[in-house]
Amino acid sequence: MRFLTDWMMPEMDGLTLIQRVRDEVKSAPLILMIIAIIDDNSRQQVLEAGADVFFDKTIPIHQCGRLGFVRWACTPKLVCS
């Protein structure tokens, strides 16, 4: 199982969502988070929350294929920015 989330959402932020999924889902999914804030502290928070991969929102959509959304499913803690 894999899923994609954003950090900034209306009712629950992505960090809280990831922590809940990690706590409540027995078969650990691979989690990709998209973030707009790309400072070192934010990156650390995303990884500590349990995201496997995160992408900076400023990556042009045409580069997503080159970065390999399949690759992220096999590479833990991949950082793309």
Structure pTM?
0.67
Provide the β-strand partners of residue 80.
Answer: 55
**pLDDT of res. 36:** 82
**pLDDT of res. 19:** 92
Backbone dihedral angles phi then psi of residue 2, each to the nearest 5 degrees: -135, 150
* CATH code: domain of residue 25: 3.40.50.2300
**pLDDT of res. 76:** 47
Domain interval for residue 28: 2-80
**pLDDT of res. 60:** 63
Sites in the chain below the pLDDT cut of 50 = 70, 72-81
Number of domains within the chain: 1
Tokens representing 67?
């970065």
